[in-house]
Structure 1
Amino acid sequence: MAPPRGASGPHVLVLVAHPDLRRSRVNRRLKQRGQAAARSAPGIEVRDLYALYPDFTIDVGAEQAAAAAADLIVWVHPIQWYAMPALMKLWVDEVLSLGWAYGPGGRALAGKDLWLVTSTGARQEAYHPSGYNRHFFDAFLPPYEQTAALCGLRFLPPLVLHGAHVASADELDSHAALFGQRILSHPDWPELADLPACEACITPAQDRPNRALA
């Protein structure tokens, strides 16, 4: 289960993963808004993965410690080729390890919340059976949802900004403001009152034997 909440409120871990943040219109604003929130709320931590690990050598122990301390883990990244950027995927591969995040003995993140905050270059109408992406955007979310479920995380309704390349400055600022408000107010979001906790997703030991536990 998540650690007890202190006087500063729940601990929020914001993981920003953008391969070229200097050129970003959306994620750069979100990182800045997250950092501003962190200055006013000690319970918020912002980690820029591409700045921390330019050589893609992830400090797994440090990342696991940060995730274990959080009540809410936020993934902030653009959608690239219908999925997460490469370093975010490597974070998933290495940090969410067997015996720690899932599988036999892997309950380090159980009971926490996972929130995807993402953006697409395409406008929303492109994510439609009649659009060039051929599917509604939700069709691309099952890998996120199942990753959360396997780790015992509750997957929160994502915050998505479509049309990032053409969004107005006012739209970008409103999006960032909502993001900042949400990380400061978690878990007191009205829609979470009726969102069930994640059901246990048990991995049989014979499917994924953990040699470290053998």
Structure 2
Amino acid sequence: MDEFANRRQGIYVLAAHPNWRESRANRQLFDEARGLAGVQVQDLYGRYPDYDIDVAAEQANVDAARLLVLLHPIQWYSMPALMKLWLDEVLRYGWAYGRSGTALHGKDLWLVASTGGPEASYHPQGYNRYFFDAFLPPYEQTAHLCGMRFLPPLLLHAAHRASEAEVQAHVEVFRERLQSYPDWPELEELDACPITDVPATDRPEPDPGED
């Protein structure tokens, strides 16, 4: 049994949508997750409308979970601004990564995202010019730097035009995956991430004015 085996099996869903009233799929996923035992859900825009993130509280939430879920619509080929700020402020050097930053090591990161464009638009001949996998490296590398496994994403393309049956099928897969974690057959094929050493010399000196 490795050193991480005794960590809690909880799930932390970090949900970011600038306007839930305009959401079809993500809102239903958000509501579904809130009703599941063992799942903690954070509405970033609801909790931090002033963008003043409680770093200590968020680190405690992540520390208490084995699976971190990033739930959001894809905006300009990336995540909403507040989720990016969350990563910037919460995943700090010396806590989330670096030689002594092992708080997330051994955990899993799962991206659950929706796109406005259909899957065919993410193609060299489509208007997005690349397969969707081309936009995943920032997520994958974030996980790797923090010693986390990056799990196969769950995507819903053309979310605005998807039929209600398609949305419901997507929600059902999401619910089943959360309830069955960590007993996903494909996880047995994923290797654990090593700790990545980031030398202190590669980090900027702290601002004397900072706490």
TM-score, normalised via structure 2 length = 0.93
Residues 59-208 of structure 1 correspond to what in structure 2 (within 5 A)? 59-208=54-203
Letter in 2 for 1:169: E
Question: Contact (CA 8 Å) 1:99, 1:210: kept in 2 or not?
Answer: no
Q: State the shift of 1:5 in Å.
A: 5.4
Partner of 1:18: 17
Partner of 1:33: 32
**Which deviations, in whole Å up to 9, do the C-alpha atoms of 1:128-185 show, x marking residues without a partner?**
0000000000000000000111111110000010010100001101101111111111
**Which deviations, in whole Å up to 9, do the C-alpha atoms of 1:107-139 show, x marking residues without a partner?**
111100000000000000000000000000000
Q: State the shift of 1:199 in Å.
A: 2.6
Distance 1:210 1:192 in 2: 39
Q: State the shift of 1:104 in Å.
A: 3.4
Identity %: 60
Q: State the shift of 1:200 in Å.
A: 2.5
In the TM superposition, structure 1's runs of 4+ consecutive aligned residues that sit over 3 Å from their partners are: 209-212
SS in 1 for 2:32: helix
Number of residue equivalences: 205
Segments of structure 2 that go 5 or more residues without pairing to the other structure are none
RMSD over aligned Cα, in angstroms? 1.5
Question: Contact (CA 8 Å) 1:104, 1:210: kept in 2 or not?
Answer: no
Please say if 1:51 is aligned against 2:50: no
Q: 1:146 to 1:155 in 2, by over 3 A?
A: same
Q: 1:25 to 1:44 in 2, by over 3 A?
A: same
Q: State the shift of 1:205 in Å.
A: 2.1
Question: Contact (CA 8 Å) 2:102, 2:195: kept in 1 or not?
Answer: no
